[in-house]
Amino acid sequence: MAAKDELGLLGERLAERHLTRGGMELLDRNWRCSQGEIDLVLRDGDEIVFVEVKTRASVAFGHPLEAITPVKLARLRRLAGEWCAIRRAEGRAIGRIRIDAVGVVAPRHAPATVDHLAGVFR
């Protein structure tokens, strides 16, 4: 596996741990359909939360949250709609949804930091 892919997986694991320790319940990880992938899907109270995770080893080229563009958020919103449609077709009720962003900075020889922005797109 490429170092970039390993860094991305590490970031997703750290984001998941941060969010579940904060009280969210994990519903899906790396959910895929023909339109793309959702990194994390969680339940936060009565909301379904779709999370885009970006990870970098440093901030030399900017914070990872800067890489989450309006285009990426619009794609995530479309994917969230697909996820919800499939769950509704299975007879599951879907309440309110929220899209969050998580930026992870994971230096090789220092502790990682996790920044969570809730409700970046509703």
What's the mean pLDDT in 60-85? 94
Mean pLDDT of the chain: 93
pTM of the model: 0.93
Q: What is the pLDDT of residue 92?
A: 87
User: What is the domain range of residue 13?
Assistant: 3-121
DSSP characters over the chain: --HHHHHHHHHHHHHHHHHHHTT-EEEEEEEEETTEEEEEEEEETTEEEEEEEEEES-STT--GGGG--HHHHHHHHHHHHHHHHHHHHTT----EEEEEEEEEE--TTS--EEEEEEEEE-
What residue type is assigned to position 61 of the chain?
A: F
pLDDT in tens, 101-119: 999 999 989 999 999 999 9
What domain count does the chain have?
1
**CATH number, domain containing residue 24:** 3.40.1350.10
Question: For the CA atoms of the chain, what is the radius of gyration?
Answer: 14
pLDDT band for position 1 (cuts 50, 70, 90): low
Summarised one tens digit per residue, pLDDT across range 31-67 is 999 999 999 999 999 999 999 999 999 999 999 999 9
